[in-house]
Amino acid sequence: MTKKVLVIGGCGRIGNSVAQDIASHTNAEITVTSRDRQKKIDSKFNFLSLDLANKAKIERAIAYTDLVIHCAGPFHYRDGSILETCIDAGVDYIDVSDHRSFYERVIQHHEKAIASNVTAILNTGIFPGISNSMVKQGIEEFDRPQKIHLSYIVGGSGGAGLTVMRTTFLGLRNKFSALINGKWQDILPYTEREIIEFPQPYGKTGVYWFDMPETYTFADSFAVDTVITKFGSIPDWYNHLTWITAHIFPERWVTSPKGIEFFSQVSYFMTKITDRFSGIGVAMRAEIIGEHEGKEKKYCATMTHNNTAIAAGAGTGAIAQLILDGKLKQPGIYPVEQALSTPLFIEVMKSRDIKIMTSC
């Protein structure tokens, strides 16, 4: 029987990439949603006009689905009701959520998901998503892992849309907690610039502290003392502009909805120009330090892709494929690293020609 997949927000840049990946690797019947009734979509998808405020219509749509994929961010604003509806309907769920506040809101339904036999996997995509599994793969090389340092850079817009821009600016002014040397400490976003060497064609570039779900979930998933997550953009002068926005402009400019929308629109316009020479790719680097067989050890893994949005689609689509194929069933609510095994991760990355380069 053909499985049915509902991609909420499936007409956006990331949502469409997810739908395209699933179509390439499964024979599922895929329905994509948007608030815009006039949205043009690929002929291989069904279309459903859907507003997240219309609870009754959402319930009807989910009731006839085998898997729901939530791609309608920013997740700072989402209340978890889509996941709750899936749990009530007994429908598996994955999302591309990218902020710890959403994780904290929905993880309270973990036991209810188990009771309903619902597998719910959060934070899928590229970062978070593939990044989580890269780190897990490295952690398994240690007897006692101690420190995780995860960095990512994106070229220009990354091929994504305005929602990703909004997500970036939403995360600029609020302090967040990070585990440093065994203690939770308050961190200011976009501070402590560090030059990291990524694989070519990216090379050395600056990254800054940024609040990511991994900052929080890694501390829960792995017995480590320190978790560092840093983000940057290319060209590098975007980093300096973002730093100015975070630390020089009046707080009300950056925290108000109008201010966030203004900065997002301006940034998106700028990337339309710079994407032509910066590219829209992504690079990630995970460094883990710890002990193995009584000796100190350092492990490093890197990954690059020439289109961030496509890579994000692959990260989410791969997990969707595994759920649809019956290879991944784990009732409850989990971040990627607590649900996806390393052998399965390697399998789905290989099938998508995504290479994780490692050195020890």
> Where residue 16 sits, what CATH number does that domain have?
3.40.50.720
What does the alpha-carbon distance between residue 122 and residue 144 come to, in Å, rounded to a whole number? 26
Kindly state whether residue 317 falls inside one of the protein's structural domains.
yes
Collapsing DSSP states into helix, strand and coil, what is residue 306? coil
Give yes or no for residue 271 having a pLDDT over 90: no
pLDDT band, very low/low/confident/very high, at 150 (cuts 50, 70, 90): very high
Query: What percent of the chain shows pLDDT beyond 90?
Result: 73
pLDDT band, very low/low/confident/very high, at 344 (cuts 50, 70, 90): very high
What does the alpha-carbon distance between residue 357 and residue 105 come to, in Å, rounded to a whole number? 35
pTM for this one?
0.91
pLDDT in tens, 48-105: 999 999 999 999 999 999 999 999 988 888 899 999 999 999 999 999 999 899 999 9
Within this chain, do residues 145 and 282 fall inside the same structural domain, yes or no? yes
Give yes or no for residue 25 having a pLDDT over 90: yes
Within this chain, do residues 50 and 16 fall inside the same structural domain, yes or no? yes
Kindly state whether residue 113 falls inside one of the protein's structural domains.
yes
More confident: 169 or 34: 34
Kindly state whether residue 53 falls inside one of the protein's structural domains.
yes
Q: Which two tokens stand for residue 12?
A: 């956006």
**Residue among 77, 137, 63 nearest 302 (CA):** 137
Which of 88-102, 119-133, 255-269, 336-350 shows the lowest mean pLDDT across its residues?
255-269
Burial of 115 (0-12, 13-18, 19+ CB in 10 A): exposed
The pairing of strands 4-8 and 194-198 is unpaired
What CATH code is carried by the domain that includes residue 299? Answer: 3.30.360.10
Q: Which two tokens stand for residue 215?
A: 């900052």
Within this chain, do residues 167 and 291 fall inside the same structural domain, yes or no? yes
Give yes or no for residue 140 having a pLDDT over 60: yes
Within this chain, do residues 208 and 177 fall inside the same structural domain, yes or no? yes
Give the domain extent around 329. 4-124+310-355
Within this chain, do residues 161 and 234 fall inside the same structural domain, yes or no? yes
Number of domains in the chain: 2
Mean pLDDT taken over the chain: 90
Within this chain, do residues 284 and 199 fall inside the same structural domain, yes or no? yes
pLDDT band, very low/low/confident/very high, at 268 (cuts 50, 70, 90): low
Kindly state whether residue 360 falls inside one of the protein's structural domains.
no
pLDDT in tens, 193-216: 999 999 999 999 999 999 999 999
Kindly state whether residue 36 falls inside one of the protein's structural domains.
yes
Within this chain, do residues 274 and 243 fall inside the same structural domain, yes or no? yes
Within this chain, do residues 202 and 70 fall inside the same structural domain, yes or no? no
Answer with the one of 308, 327, 344 that is the final residue of a domain: 308
Within this chain, do residues 97 and 212 fall inside the same structural domain, yes or no? no
Within this chain, do residues 138 and 241 fall inside the same structural domain, yes or no? yes
What does the alpha-carbon distance between residue 8 and residue 41 come to, in Å, rounded to a whole number? 14
pLDDT in tens, 239-257: 667 766 666 667 776 667 7
Kindly state whether residue 32 falls inside one of the protein's structural domains.
yes
Answer with the one of 287, 308, 329 that is the final residue of a domain: 308
pLDDT at position 161: 60
Within this chain, do residues 247 and 314 fall inside the same structural domain, yes or no? no
pLDDT in tens, 155-197: 866 666 656 556 666 656 678 999 999 999 999 988 999 999 9
Collapsing DSSP states into helix, strand and coil, what is residue 195? strand
Collapsing DSSP states into helix, strand and coil, what is residue 250? coil
Within this chain, do residues 48 and 151 fall inside the same structural domain, yes or no? no
